[in-house]
Structure 1
Amino acid sequence: MDTQTSTTPEYNGRDAALPTGERTDLTAYLAQGTGESPQVVLGRPGIGRIPVTGVTPSVDGGRWPAKAVVGEAIEVSATVFREGHDAVAATAVLLDPEGNRHSEVRMTPGAPGTDRYHATFTPDRIGMWSFVVEGWSDPYGTWEHDAVIKIGSGVDVELMLEEGARLMERAVKETKQRRKPALNLTEAAAVLRNSNRSVSERLAAGLSVQVKGALTESPLRDLVSPSPVQRLEVQRERALYSSWYELFPRSEGARLDENGRWISGTFRQAEPRLHAAAAMGFDIVYLPPIHPVGRVNRKGPNNTLTPGESDPGSPWAIGSDEGGHDAIHPDLGTFEDFDHFVETARGLGLEIALDLALQCAPDHPWAKAHPEWFTTRADGTIAYAENPPKKYQDIYPINFDNDPAGLGAEVLRVVLHWIDRGVKVFRVDNPHTKPVSFWEWLIRTVNNSHPEVLFLAEAFTRPAMMHTLGKVGFHQSYTYFTWRTTKEEITEYVTDLAGSSADYMRPNFWPNTPDILHDFLQNAGPSAFKLRAVLAATLSPSWGMYSGYELCEGAPLPGREEYLDSEKFQYRPRDWDSYEPGGSNHGRSIAPYITRLNDIRRDHKALQRLRNTVFHDVDDEQVICYSRRLESGETAGGPEDVLIVVVNLDPHATRETLVHLNMPALGLDWFDGFIVEDLITGTTYPWQEHNFVRLDPYFQPAHVLHVRRL
């Protein structure tokens, strides 16, 4: 009998084993042979001869890799210093996934007196990259400083000139210069020693542009001291930049038969919504669970315990005698229908995201076959889910404590099952209610063989858990954006997200979900839905909305932050045709506005990154202004991309106010004038540091302005 040894690390409930090859030691780095004998203590690095500290990006001291996407400019910084007064410098070295030196960048000093140095890398493919910062003593920099002062004061003139000549000769011998730079250095050495020339001419030869250029390109480096290796996990761009659209396939085409019984919609009937999502500019369509729904304790409309005979129940109550997490609800169609749905999406440039909800209906096959995967109460019953005062009698939560290896293997099998059917994105339901170590193991194991697969954490929970889920591997995270509605709240929150946490946690802004209808949108008009969409789409590189948002659906369950007649518990077919041009509801949909926002996002790289947001002063607290700037290094060689967004946060009243711009943040001088084009309306305006704006919430709730130089 053939046997095959599995290379998948086993999940044991305690340690999330990482794939081999992900090392944090300096072995691969040292093997590159710099030829300079860096001072390194292997295993647990000590401080080098030239101290290098505070290296960023670094997640919890290198315990987890920092994150990047292909083509994203990553700033590396470190504190580099030494004893005494000799000059120091630093080089950032980027190592590719094979451990080869991919690129080396001479770091530039930051603010005077801080000893901080900075450089920018742009990784060009997926993989586990790494980098080190090399601190080194700069003999040329030391000589230049001392020579200018001493020779200018008439002290040790000949000695300083001779030391400079010897540095030039050393550089010719030691550096890897080509003929022309080497010739410049040789000539400089000769002039430095030429007593027939004036002292100023001799010194100028050692300080010439040619000499400095040669020694910047290939510097003399003494006492080279590398930092510990830091990992940088580079993923596909969709991990950072994406636009999500959520829909329930069962509602598309759902109808009542002649006996008043509901008939479910199917995957085939839902395919027109794929075309609509693509037309609105979305690139991911997210489906709530598509599995069989349990019949035991099934919920009725508005979460009642009295379902009708044909009520569908909550799709998150997964499993019945028709199957579990690896099955499709028969009302939706067959696996062939699902495959056709995925292929149709792919042809439209869309990806399908599936819900990964690790919970079960009481009649899920797991409940019978593996009762040890659940929590048994003192009376012998299995505990259902609760989030007081909410009760979910139709759902059994999973318990990872009794059989972590068996449960982990089954979940991995389910995920790989859907990956084999073309699913590359998973929205994970309530990951904060499962062990963090499990997610670290699962995501790393999946990405080891399928690096293109992405996981979004739906974790509306405490910050420590949200941040740690990002650290251990989740590619994106839901956020508190839904509850940030004032200028102060938005400014503080986005500033925090774009800070150091951006090394590992990528936000995804959703103004609504099937679970959450914030008070701001309840019974509100299109102005409220438009302004929240503008904020979500222009403040975060990833955003999403739940189907019906474009219709401004806002009827709440009285006294709750939930939808009335929630689609979670019943079919909710919509007459989409009536909202098309010529339809009876044409004009009541903000789909054209959503489409324009997504088009702007696709056309402007500045909106596809996270760290480049600057808030500007506005006299009115109900108006917010921020800019998004991307310099030419990340725009594929084109000009820099600068956008200014001004939003009226009051959905009921026109606001007139002054905006005061931080001009250097836009790459401009304080007294520069420039032209802006409103990318929503096409109107152009001359702008400067101080600008008057008038925003009508009904007709123009926001400016999205593209900066054009005069």
Structure 2
Amino acid sequence: MLESASHPDSHLFQVQHPVWAAHASIYEVNVRQYTPEGTFQAFEAHLPRLADMGVGIIWLMPIHPIGEVNRKGTLGSQYAVQDYYGVNPEFGTLDDLRHLVQAAHALDLYVLIDWVANHTAWDNPLVTEHPDWYTHDAAGNFVPPIPDWHDVIDLDYHQPALRRYMTDALLYWVREVDLDGYRCDVAGLVPTDFWEAARQELDQVKPVFLLAEWDELYPSGGLTWEQFDGNTRLLERAFDMTFGLRLHYLLDHIAEDKQPLHDIDVYLAAERAKYPPNVYLMHFTSNHDVNSWDGTEYERLGPNVLPFAVLTALLPGMPLVYSGQEAALQKRLAFFDRDPIDWQDYPLQEFYTKLLQLNKRHPALHNGILESRFERFPTTPNVYAFIRRHEETAVLTAINIAPTPQQLTLPVEAAGIYHDVFSGEKLHLQADSELSILPHDWRVLERM
């Protein structure tokens, strides 16, 4: 399948990705739980390790002060913003954040912060200064965007002054801290034309990267299918990337034997039908919401945790690693209280390094799959295998989700001399060669 083939709506997708995003992977940082100190300064010491691992983009969960009214837990949700221009003292100071960003840039890392534009804490000063900027019910009361989110209240983007305020706040952090962009919370609940206008202003300061917590192939933000508008088109003129939520849930269902492994082909077909090849989707086996509310990847994916991590790293799209995954974290982190990660000497550091460094260096693994081919191989039901090629270079990936060894018979286009990325073995493969895959294992081969 030629991934660079023309798409009927290609002309609609006008976002120009920053050059540095083409081979970047993304790493989500839960500052509160990352270290015993839970501060920017303590996390900064990990930047060289993450750079060595192959990470390209650092995504910091919200850095703003947290509301106290109707707070959940001891410390509250980081998504209940009390002040869009402030820094959460739990994490440090504005200068600490600046220093963190500067240190990241010195290592060729780029930094996004989480932005919560859809709602605020109940005690954000905007509540009393501009009550008309909020959504009200028939009785005139403030309302949460989702009933369970009782620690926040919904903003009303019909108000032009609110749009101006929020855009200015977004510009402030890019100018004052030299941020490289934003991960935008429940982005599809905010009008798309707001994001489009804000993107234009941000790009005038510097080329930014915007990640939407949304998936136009799957409802998100707590919505049902009946509430979902699949035509928000966030990726046309506003965002560089959205979440690949549909793939995430599909992998969970495969692990639960609710769907066959080869339904991944159905997902990829839907993705290619909706989006041209220059669009980025983010793939993952965990993030802060999934870990805390749905369970660790070990709970959800069982013995196929690592094979599915290989898939999310090497299928077309940008891979995400969440805080603690390189520690093989088998714990749901508390969301509203301190709960530091036990790093256990980073048992999966080498695993993720091999994947992310390969993604970073290999021309066939360009995030936008421009001028590259993705081809699926015929396999048995428990094996999923594909090759991604760019000119004469290629990466061959195969996973086995069965409890028994499996064999993959290679087609003629897979012939060549390969280097096994994980074992270091050199392989001479021909048409009809048999590639062995151990139970719940994987093979990643780089054509030499």
TM-score interval, normalised by the smaller of the two chains: 0.7 to 0.9
Contact 1:656–1:692 (CA under 8 A) maintained in structure 2: no
- Tell me if 1:315 matches 2:78: yes
What residue number does 1:247 align with? 29
What residue number does 2:116 align with? 357
What residue number does 1:642 align with? 394
- Tell me if 1:268 matches 2:268: no
What residue number does 2:288 align with? 514
Change in CA separation of 1:356 and 1:595 when aligned onto 2, cut-off 3 Å: same
The aligned runs of 1:126-275 (5 Å cut-off) are 234-254=16-36, 265-275=38-48
The aligned runs of 1:578-617 (5 Å cut-off) are 578-579=344-345, 589-609=347-367, 610=369, 612-617=373-378
Residue among 573, 584, 594 paired with 2:340:
573
Give the deviation of 1:475 after TM superposition.
0.7
Change in CA separation of 1:399 and 1:567 when aligned onto 2, cut-off 3 Å: same
Instruction: Percent identity, please.
Output: 24
**Aligned AA (1:521):** E
Give the deviation of 1:314 after TM superposition.
0.7
Change in CA separation of 1:705 and 1:348 when aligned onto 2, cut-off 3 Å: same
Residue among 227, 234, 237 paired with 1:472:
237
What residue number does 2:434 align with? 692
Q: Measure the CA separation in 2 of the matches of 1:430 and 1:537.
A: 24
Change in CA separation of 1:462 and 1:678 when aligned onto 2, cut-off 3 Å: closer
Change in CA separation of 1:364 and 1:424 when aligned onto 2, cut-off 3 Å: same
**Over residues 533-584 of structure 1, what are the superposed CA-to-partner deviations in whole Å (9 max), with x where a residue is unaligned?**
21111113411021122233344xxxxxxx4xx44222221243x415xxxx
What residue number does 2:250 align with? 484
Give the deviation of 1:336 after TM superposition.
1.0
Contact 1:432–1:465 (CA under 8 A) maintained in structure 2: no
The aligned runs of 1:62-461 (5 Å cut-off) are 62=11, 64=12, 66-67=13-14, 234-254=16-36, 265-300=38-73, 311-319=74-82, 324-358=83-117, 359-386=119-146, 391-401=148-158, 403=159, 405-420=160-175, 421-447=177-203, 449-460=204-215
Change in CA separation of 1:294 and 1:333 when aligned onto 2, cut-off 3 Å: same
**Aligned AA (2:43):** A
Change in CA separation of 1:269 and 1:244 when aligned onto 2, cut-off 3 Å: same
Give the deviation of 1:590 after TM superposition.
1.2
Residue among 544, 552, 562 paired with 2:320:
544
SS at match of 2:268: helix
Rg larger in structure = 1
Q: Measure the CA separation in 1 of the matches of 2:168 and 2:61.
A: 19
Contact 2:58–2:111 (CA under 8 A) maintained in structure 1: yes
**Aligned AA (1:623):** V
**Over residues 395-416 of structure 1, what are the superposed CA-to-partner deviations in whole Å (9 max), with x where a residue is unaligned?**
1121112x1x211111111111
**Aligned AA (1:507):** L
Change in CA separation of 1:662 and 1:427 when aligned onto 2, cut-off 3 Å: farther
**Aligned AA (1:393):** H
Give the deviation of 1:458 after TM superposition.
0.7
Give the deviation of 1:378 after TM superposition.
3.0
**Over residues 239-267 of structure 1, what are the superposed CA-to-partner deviations in whole Å (9 max), with x where a residue is unaligned?**
4432111112222444xxxxxxxxx6221
What residue number does 1:626 align with? 386
What residue number does 2:310 align with? 534
Change in CA separation of 1:240 and 1:465 when aligned onto 2, cut-off 3 Å: farther
Change in CA separation of 1:331 and 1:361 when aligned onto 2, cut-off 3 Å: same
Q: Measure the CA separation in 2 of the matches of 1:453 and 1:501.
A: 21
**Aligned AA (2:77):** S
SS at match of 1:465: coil
Q: Measure the CA separation in 1 of the matches of 2:351 and 2:423.
A: 10
**Aligned AA (2:338):** Y
Give the deviation of 1:496 after TM superposition.
3.5
Give the deviation of 1:440 after TM superposition.
1.7
**Aligned AA (1:345):** A
**Over residues 609-654 of structure 1, what are the superposed CA-to-partner deviations in whole Å (9 max), with x where a residue is unaligned?**
4252110101x211111000001xxxxxxxx21121111134xx13
Change in CA separation of 1:617 and 1:660 when aligned onto 2, cut-off 3 Å: farther
Q: Measure the CA separation in 1 of the matches of 2:436 and 2:277.
A: 37
Gaps spanning 5+ residues in structure 1: where? 1-54, 68-232, 255-263, 301-310, 556-562, 581-588, 632-639, 667-672
Give the deviation of 1:508 after TM superposition.
1.2
What residue number does 1:654 align with? 404
Change in CA separation of 1:273 and 1:468 when aligned onto 2, cut-off 3 Å: same
SS at match of 1:488: helix
Residue among 254, 266, 271 paired with 1:497:
271
- Tell me if 1:59 matches 2:9: yes
Contact 1:351–1:424 (CA under 8 A) maintained in structure 2: yes
Give the deviation of 1:433 after TM superposition.
0.5
SS at match of 2:321: strand
What residue number does 1:670 align with? none
**Aligned AA (1:530):** L
What residue number does 2:223 align with? none
Q: Measure the CA separation in 2 of the matches of 1:285 and 1:376.
A: 36
Change in CA separation of 1:696 and 1:437 when aligned onto 2, cut-off 3 Å: same
Contact 2:24–2:360 (CA under 8 A) maintained in structure 1: no
Give the deviation of 1:393 after TM superposition.
0.7
Gaps spanning 5+ residues in structure 2: where? 219-228, 252-259
Change in CA separation of 1:487 and 1:661 when aligned onto 2, cut-off 3 Å: farther
Q: Measure the CA separation in 2 of the matches of 1:417 and 1:552.
A: 37
Higher RCO (C-alpha 8 Å, min separation 6): 2
TM-score (norm 1): 0.55
Give the deviation of 1:519 after TM superposition.
7.0
Give the deviation of 1:677 after TM superposition.
1.9
**Aligned AA (1:283):** G
**Over residues 579-602 of structure 1, what are the superposed CA-to-partner deviations in whole Å (9 max), with x where a residue is unaligned?**
15xxxxxxxx21110011112112
Contact 2:195–2:238 (CA under 8 A) maintained in structure 1: yes
After superposing on structure 2, the runs of 4+ consecutive aligned residues of structure 1 that deviate more than 6 Å are none
Give the deviation of 1:296 after TM superposition.
0.8
Give the deviation of 1:289 after TM superposition.
0.6
